[in-house]
């Protein structure tokens, strides 16, 4: 009963910007962390950025200085601001969340994935 809904993907030229959003809904007691991963054709899925409930962030070296992850705890939403986009950033971007669904059962803590949103950087 947990859903992650992503939006904001699209086609942009090199040097352009996009802002991705991911909203978590459903049976949620607590969200410990949320993040973004990406997967290009023929490649393995890789970490892009993560943010914890307390605001600690982590980025892949390839996006440091260009991407910024942020969150809105009240809305159970995470954002990814992507600037100075490069063709190498082209991939399907997936939202991930570390969620506990019940306050009485810690075993309900699991990772959840969104459906993915396509980001294409091309001239």
Q: What is the pLDDT along the chain (123 residues), one digit of tens a residue?
A: 899 999 999 999 999 999 999 999 999 999 999 999 999 999 999 999 999 999 999 999 999 999 999 999 899 999 999 999 999 999 999 999 999 998 888 889 999 999 999 999 999
Q: Give pLDDT, residue 104.
A: 85
Q: Give pLDDT, residue 105.
A: 80
Question: Diameter of the chain by CA atoms?
Answer: 52
Q: In the structure encoding, which two tokens stand for residue 98, read together?
A: 């570390």
Q: Give pLDDT, residue 1.
A: 82
Q: Give pLDDT, residue 106.
A: 81
Number of H helices, E strands in the chain: 0, 11
Cβ proximity of 112 and 2 under 8 Å: yes
Q: Give pLDDT, residue 103.
A: 87
Q: What is the C-alpha separation between 27 and 36, in angstroms, rounded?
A: 21
Q: In the structure encoding, which two tokens stand for residue 71, read together?
A: 């969150």
């Amino acid at each position: 009963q947990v859903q992650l809904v992503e939006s904001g993907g699209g086609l942009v030229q090199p040097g352009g910007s996009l802002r991705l959003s991911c909203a978590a809904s459903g049976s949620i007691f607590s969200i410990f962390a949320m993040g973004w991963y990406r997967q290009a054709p023929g490649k393995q899925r890789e970490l892009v950025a993560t943010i914890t409930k307390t605001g600690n962030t982590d980025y892949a070296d390839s996006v440091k200085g260009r991407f910024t992850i942020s969150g809105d705890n009240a809305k159970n939403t995470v954002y990814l601001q992507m600037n100075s986009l490069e063709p190498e950033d082209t991939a399907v971007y997936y939202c991930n969340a570390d969620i506990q669904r019940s306050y009485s059962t810690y075993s309900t803590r699991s990772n959840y994935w969104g459906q993915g949103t396509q980001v294409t950087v091309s001239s």
